[in-house]
């Protein structure tokens, strides 16, 4: 008897058991179920939610691997020992630091999902496959694992399960997790010491031979917010050889992932494109404010405002947020017209927060969460447009 038959028999014999959803999650991971159509159409297209989510995870893998190299690279650069970017030394540091983040994120998050599935008697949903991969990529590398676990539990329970699970949530779960970390443990999530492994004095004593004062791990945005000179070139920022959250640094890989998601029709090109347009527009506005002389070098906004408008696309987490989080279909606008408005405002507000609030140099997280809240409102007005058209048609008849 093959594995297929064995698993089938277990499923059939335990139909009434409470733990069946947990078993099914593993079963359906191995085998697409033998379920056939029983109402409506008799045939169905090839895609399911697992495949859809899997595409996003695939698109994230290059960012993850790049993040591992970059973590090591930045670490060695910070302690003053130069290594090649694509070296085992760099990769090993990254692997040792990041693999635990991935494992904790998945184990804790899926654990919560399994518990809820068993309590509520529904199947384990695939949403967390993507969330679980996003989370390690958007946190600083040295974040303590217990902190990550607490945040993941909060994010999955409050961000998603209380609303009824995947498909029902209002806020993007990955960003809910990050926002929780950001507001609950701000010193671990911002500043100039958290972005490079070993840079934080709290973890420095764990690393032998670290030279505390030599280490600086500022992000590009952090430096700009403080009006400092940039130590990185545009190509460094585009290719991603800069400090930052694990997966957000390489604009090139994010761009390729975005194109992949658009090509596979999984990600919404409307949202991605309009967010980029929104960011460019806001950037241009700030640039022209500077060039008209309304603001002088003495202003604390000067450095960020005078940053060339298109540089905003390649620094910070903007690109990552737009490609992977703004496009989350559940929390984004659901109508095509609404997606244009939603995306544009995300881009626009991201850059606005970035410039005006140097305490939160990363605007894209807050911008997406804010627009998540407004997405249903945008959709409401788009749908009302359709309703009004129908009413008009009726009135024209009556008149």
Question: Which spans of this chain sit near other proteins (rule: CB under 8 A)?
Answer: 4, 7-8, 28-37, 39-52, 54-55, 123, 125-127, 164-168, 263-266, 268, 270, 329-330, 332, 334-336, 339, 379, 383, 386-387, 389-391, 393-394, 397
Cβ(279)–Cβ(312) below 8 Å: yes
Nearer to other proteins by Cβ, of 204 and 264: the residue is: 264
Dihedral over alpha carbons 138, 139, 141, 144 (to 10 degrees): -150
What distance lies between CA 103 and its chain's CA centroid? 17
> For 159-186, b where at least 16 C-beta lie within 10 A, e where not — what string?
bbbeeebbeebebbbbbbbbbbbbeebe
Nearer to other proteins by Cβ, of 32 and 377: the residue is: 32
Q: Is 208 helix (H, G, I), strand (E, B) or coil?
A: coil
What is the gyration radius of the CA atoms in the chain, in angstroms? 23
Query: What's the min distance (Å) between Cβ of 31 and other proteins?
Result: 4
Query: What's the min distance (Å) between Cβ of 329 and other proteins?
Result: 5
Nearer to other proteins by Cβ, of 54 and 204: the residue is: 54
Nearer to other proteins by Cβ, of 237 and 330: the residue is: 330
Nearer to other proteins by Cβ, of 40 and 121: the residue is: 40
* Sequence-ordered alpha helix ranges (H) in 220-268: 220-225, 234-239, 251-263
Query: What's the min distance (Å) between Cβ of 381 and other proteins?
Result: 13
d(CA 369, CA 130): 17
Nearer to other proteins by Cβ, of 164 and 212: the residue is: 164
Query: What's the min distance (Å) between Cβ of 396 and other proteins?
Result: 9
d(CA 64, CA 70): 10
What length does the chain have? Answer: 399
d(CA 131, CA 116): 16
Query: What's the min distance (Å) between Cβ of 263 and other proteins?
Result: 6
Query: What's the min distance (Å) between Cβ of 386 and other proteins?
Result: 6
* Sequence-ordered alpha helix ranges (H) in 248-335: 251-263, 269-291, 302-306, 318-320
Nearer to other proteins by Cβ, of 242 and 332: the residue is: 332
d(CA 245, CA 175): 13
Q: Which of 104, 113, 160, 164 minimizes the C-alpha distance to 133?
A: 104
Cβ(332)–Cβ(268) below 8 Å: yes
Nearer to other proteins by Cβ, of 166 and 251: the residue is: 166
Query: What's the min distance (Å) between Cβ of 235 and other proteins?
Result: 31
Query: What's the min distance (Å) between Cβ of 26 and other proteins?
Result: 13
d(CA 85, CA 300): 35
């Amino acid at each position: 008897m093959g594995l297929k038959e064995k698993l089938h028999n277990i499923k059939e014999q335990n139909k009434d058991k409470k733990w069946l959803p947990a078993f099914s999650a593993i079963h359906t991971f191995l085998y697409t179920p033998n379920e056939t159509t029983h109402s409506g159409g008799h045939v169905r297209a090839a895609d399911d939610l697992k495949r859809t989510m899997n595409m996003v995870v695939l698109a994230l893998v290059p960012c993850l691997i790049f993040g591992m190299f970059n973590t090591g690279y930045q670490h060695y650069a910070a302690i003053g020992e130069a290594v090649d970017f694509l070296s085992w030394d760099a990769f090993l540091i990254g692997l040792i630091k990041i693999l635990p983040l991935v494992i904790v994120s998945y184990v804790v998050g899926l654990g919560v999902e399994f518990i809820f599935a068993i309590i509520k008697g529904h199947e384990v949903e695939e949403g967390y496959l993507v969330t679980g991969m996003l989370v390690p990529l958007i946190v600083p590398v040295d974040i303590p694992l217990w902190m990550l676990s607490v945040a993941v539990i909060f994010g999955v329970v409050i961000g998603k399960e209380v609303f009824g699970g995947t498909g029902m949530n209002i806020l993007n779960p990955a960003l809910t997790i990050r926002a929780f970390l950001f507001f609950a443990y701000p010193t671990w999530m911002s500043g100039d010491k958290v972005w490079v492994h070993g840079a934080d004095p709290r973890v420095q004593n764990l690393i032998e031979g670290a030279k505390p004062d030599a280490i600086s791990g500022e992000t590009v945005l952090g430096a700009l917010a403080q009006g400092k000179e940039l130590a990185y070139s545009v190509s460094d920022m585009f290719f991603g050889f800069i400090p930052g959250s694990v997966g957000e640094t390489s604009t090139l890989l994010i761009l390729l992932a975005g194109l992949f998601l658009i090509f596979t029709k999984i990600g919404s090109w409307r949202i991605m494109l309009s967010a980029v347009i929104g960011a460019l527009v806001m950037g241009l506005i700030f640039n022209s404010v500077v060039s008209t002389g309304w603001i002088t070098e003495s202003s604390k906004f000067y450095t960020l405002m005078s940053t060339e408008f298109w540089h905003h696309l390649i620094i910070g987490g903007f690109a990552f947020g737009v490609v992977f989080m703004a496009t989350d279909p559940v929390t984004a606008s659901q109508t095509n017209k609404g997606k244009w408005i939603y995306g544009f405002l995300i881009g626009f507000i991201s850059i606005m927060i970035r410039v005006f609030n140097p305490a939160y140099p990363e605007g894209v997280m807050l911008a997406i969460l804010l627009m998540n809240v407004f997405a249903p409102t945008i959709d409401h007005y788009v749908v009302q447009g359709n309703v009004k058209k129908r009413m008009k048609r009726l009135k024209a008849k009556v008149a």
